[in-house]
Amino acid sequence: MNSPRKAFHRILLTGAAGGLGRILRERIKPWADIIRLSDISDLGIAADGEELVQCDLADRAQVHALMQDVDLVLHFGGISTEHHFDDIMQANILGTYNVYEAAHQAGVKRIIFASSNHTVGYYKTTDFIDAHMPVRPDGMYGISKCFGENLSRYYYDRFGIETVCLRIGSSFPEPLNRRMMVTYFSYDDLVELLRCAAFTPRVGHTISFGVSNNPASWWDNRYASHLGYQAKDSSARFAAQFPDSGDYPAADDITTQYQGGAFLLTGPQYR
Q: Which residues of 96-126 are buried (b: 16+ CB within 10 A; e: fewer)?
A: bbbbbbbbeebebebbbbbbbbbbbbbbebe
Burial 237-254 (b: 16+ CB within 10 A, else e): eeeeebeeeeeebeeeee
Rg for the chain (alpha carbons), in Å?
A: 18
Active site residue 141: yes
CA–CA dist 147, 118 (Å, integer) = 12
Give the rounded distance of the alpha carbon of 115 from its chain centre.
Answer: 4
In angstroms, the CA 71 to CA 109 distance is 7
Q: What per-residue string of b and e applies to 137-162 under the rule 16 or more CB within 10 Å gives b? A: bbbbbbbbbbbbbebbeebbeeeebb
Among 169, 172, 206, 199, which Cα is nearest to 186's?
Answer: 172
Candidate list 123, 141, 156, 184, residue with the active-site label: 141
Q: How many whole angstroms separate alpha carbon 82 and alpha carbon 118?
A: 10
Q: Which residues are catalytic, by number?
A: 141
